[in-house]
Amino acid sequence: IVKLLLDTDKVDINSKDLNSRTPLSWASGNGHEAIITILLANREVEVDAGDRQSGRTPLSFAAGNGHEAAVRTLLDAGKAETNSKDVNGRTPFSWAAMNGHETVVATLL
């Protein structure tokens, strides 16, 4: 369904909700690798778009929630900034470590 919507050219791939989270942020934070891959295939996607409330990026949400495959998908695309900081100065690495996601920490090293 995501691919069909994007193929219509009537959908803004970087649309934001009330907290300015993008579809890529939501897919990453929920570990939906297939959707992440579809979104990353579009050259217009903003890979490091931080939300207004926390400044967290899609990589930060994926890492903080322990979604190793999502983290790997974002990293393999070669576009995600691994050292991005949120409003509290936390990076994707620090979110993963703080939440005890050892495999994600290892992936980010």
Q: Which pLDDT score is estimated for 75?
A: 96
Residues 6+ away with beta carbon under 8 Å from 56 = 25, 50, 64, 86, 95
Which amino acid appears at position 43 of this protein? R
Does pLDDT of 1 surpass 80?
no
Q: Which pLDDT score is estimated for 46?
A: 92
Ordered by start, the domain boundaries in the chain are 2-108
Q: Which pLDDT score is estimated for 78?
A: 86
- pLDDT per residue over 26-59, tens digit each? 999 999 999 999 999 988 899 999 888 899 999 9
pTM value > 0.85: yes
Q: Which pLDDT score is estimated for 32?
A: 96
Measured between alpha carbons, how far is residue 73 from residues 10, 34, 36, 102 in Å?
Answer: 26, 9, 7, 17
Choose the weakest-confidence range: 8-12, 45-49, 62-66, 75-79. Answer: 8-12
Class of domain 2-108: mainly alpha
